[in-house]
Structure 1
Amino acid sequence: MMADMPYDDMDETQFEEFCFELMREVGFVNLDWRKGTGLVASPSDSGRDIVAQLPREELDGRQYLETWFVDCKHYQRGVPPDKIAGLLSWATAERADVALVVASNFLSNPCKDFLKSYEVNNRPPFRVRYWERPNIARLLEGRDEFINRYLRTEMRIEAEVIEAEQELFDRVWYNRKMILEERLAAGDASFSDAVIATMRAACREMEAKYGKENLGPYSDFEWGMVSGKLSALRWVLGDEWDNLDS
């Protein structure tokens, strides 16, 4: 087997979604994922998992759209011939331009022989194509952004990044308010009673949310880590470096 692919640990539905997004990435338009149910394997796709169109242009400049019927097969072993018969039937009935099988690994040799025989004996009005593991690997070359966006499950989703940024913001904010409490205790009278009361109420909310024991005081090293993490997450979310406003 070739090197690991990003979809190896996906289930059938996730692999279909991967195929859908990959086709969009390489230039297909008007995509329709025909899953139709919440089941892992959908009985409602009518012999094709995806219907998509590929923009084409002839030498004279005429532009048109090719209609592709796509059947996605997430198999550990070779795809057998009987598993693609539905795709060919529907491509014939609905006059597709191309019938495409996307296999997470390979078509079996009997399946390839069946396709050759089908084309010779039936002369279908559509072209038959199949993408196997090496074809998909070539399509993914140079598409690191796509892989990061859709396939690398170890990557943090944006909601997790935002949640972590909020917690670090709260920790920085709370620590600065503890410094302000020290100033008040030393006699600083530059803040109104209303401002002090609002600040203390917000601090109590932070303590209830995170636990007072988890909000410092910090050593110089710990404070540097908290500040650095906040700056890094804000940069990931689109802010400038070193923004530690709270």
Structure 2
Amino acid sequence: MAVKPTVSISVIRRLPRYYRFLGDLAKAGINRISSRELSERMGLTASQIRQDLNCFGGFGQQGYGYNVSSLREEIARILGLDNQLNTILIGVGNLGRAIVSHLDFGQRGFNLTAVFDNNPELCGTTIAGMTIMDPSMLEEYCSAHPTQVAILTIPRTAAEALSERLIQCGIRCFWNFSHYDFNLDYENVVVENVHLTDSLMTLGYRVNEYLRTQQTKTEE
């Protein structure tokens, strides 16, 4: 089924959560579920779930609900989990090393093929079966191994300095931890920015609001 061109990013961001919950249901031996039952498990409204899935054609049956395994397969297709996009990672510091070591890229539609770092002490060593290469080899590698995605776990200034080279290598898609804003300098790129400090500060606000609310209740 074709995706409607007006699907909002908020809907897209909920799809992995649906996929994860449906996987848990399948493991528990649950074969079908209604939007109401799914909403109770996920903390969403049944209407929200139906609206989200209807963006992609809808997959439920009146009086039956959703077939868990079929819906999960459809969401996997929408998310492109079978695409196996060739991917490189630049920056094998603590964050980059954790990502390489602990994320199952193959199960998420990505094929991590190479890692780069400008630390001479790391170059030539291996991680997850891959030899860490110096970024000077980037063009040569991408010429021999067409790459669609780059993961950037490097400082903002380093990412900005490297950006033009990545674009010239034909890479237009980025999982970006660097805080460099590709969209300011380049058009027609796909960027998923990950700001861990922003997330931490958001948590701080929510915690403080929670504590303030609890304090108010205590005073009452």
State the TM-score, normalized to the length of structure 1. Answer: 0.24
State the TM-score, normalized to the length of structure 2. Answer: 0.26
